[in-house]
């Protein structure tokens, strides 16, 4: 059976908040190696990771989400297996989704990455499968969310009418639970490191799709995700989100985007 590696990037995350994820991953039969890149340089975390026989990485400064994952990608080789799973620290599951995700990618070589149905801790859906955003959507969702017209636009953007009864292909899936192949990540040259935080997963999805691969949601498997919306508060996180949005639209198009069309 094929193996998979896992990549996790953290920054000043309390070790106690990671134990649940670590324990779940330790039970994964086909896990070849776990890579933790620590943008905060926590010695306690280093000890916990190495105690489990996993790979702890850090460079003494916060280099950003995408850049850190690229450092993990540079460590991967064929011994780690065909597949690589990018996860967030606040991910949890009752039934492991990995076998279903591997099976789907094996059966569908034209699929570049899959994501399970991602749920809140209360069991409600997070709607992380999305269509391509417009500047109005990203700004309006943050500042005009109570407007009925904006709510309707966000509804379409988050694909809330999409049936979750079978696998489907959105334009974007979330980097919080992104199961892919090593070869695909190498083909698209990993994350664009110009994004320090936020929207780097959107950019990665677009590169994967442009390379000729499908992105698929597998509703038959589910995970829970804490999904703290730090950027919905005023402060540095919001500023980073705005800056990333500017970089995203400058790269892919503010008002004219050839890919911004119905998909299916």
pLDDT tens, 175-193?
Answer: 999 999 999 999 999 999 9
Per-residue confidence band for 234, with pLDDT thresholds at 50, 70 and 90: low
pLDDT of the residue at 231: 43
Long-range contacts of 23-29 (CB under 8 A, 24+ apart): 24/92, 24/93, 24/96, 26/52, 27/96, 28/96, 28/98
- 97-140 pLDDT tens trace: 999 999 999 999 999 999 999 999 999 999 999 999 999 898 88
What does the DSSP 8-state code read for residue 250?
H
Is the model more confident about 60 or about 219? Answer: 219
When pLDDT is averaged across residues 217-243 and rounded to a whole number, the result is 80
Mean pLDDT, the chain, integer: 93
d(CA 230, CA 64): 16
When pLDDT is averaged across residues 202-229 and rounded to a whole number, the result is 93
The domain 4-130+168-229: what is its CATH number?
3.90.550.60
Give the residues across from 35 on adjacent strands: 7, 55
| Domain residue ranges in the chain | 4-130+168-229
Residue positions counted in the chain: 264
pLDDT of the residue at 228: 57
Place of tokens 């569908």: 108
Tokens linked to 154: 């966000």
């Amino acid at each position: 059976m094929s193996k998979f590696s896992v990549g996790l990037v953290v920054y000043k995350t309390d070790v106690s908040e990671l134990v649940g994820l670590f324990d779940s991953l330790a039970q994964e039969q086909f896990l070849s190696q776990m890579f933790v890149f620590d943008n905060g340089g926590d010695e306690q975390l280093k000890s916990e990771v190495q105690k489990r026989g996993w790979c702890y990485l850090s460079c003494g400064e916060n280099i950003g989400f995408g850049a850190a994952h690229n450092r993990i990608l540079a460590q991967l080789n064929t011994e780690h297996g065909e597949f690589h799973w990018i996860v967030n620290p606040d991910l949890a599951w009752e039934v492991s989704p990995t076998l279903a995700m591997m099976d789907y990618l094996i059966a569908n070589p034209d699929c570049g990455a899959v994501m399970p149905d991602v749920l809140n801790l209360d069991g409600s859906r997070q709607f992380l499968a999305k269509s391509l955003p417009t500047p109005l959507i990203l700004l309006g969702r943050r500042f005009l969310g109570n407007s009925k017209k904006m709510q309707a636009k966000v509804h379409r953007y988050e694909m809330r009418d999409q049936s979750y009864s079978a696998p489907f292909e959105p334009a974007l899936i979330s980097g919080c639970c992104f199961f892919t192949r090593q070869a695909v990540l190498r083909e698209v040259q990993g994350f664009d490191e110009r994004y320090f935080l936020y929207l780097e997963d959107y950019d990665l999805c677009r590169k994967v799709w442009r390379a000729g691969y499908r992105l698929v949601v597998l509703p038959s498997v589910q995970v829970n995700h804490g999904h703290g919306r730090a950027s919905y508060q005023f402060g540095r996180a919001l500023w980073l989100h705005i800056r990333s949005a500017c970089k995203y639209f400058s790269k892919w198009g503010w008002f004219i985007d050839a890919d911004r069309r119905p998909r299916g």
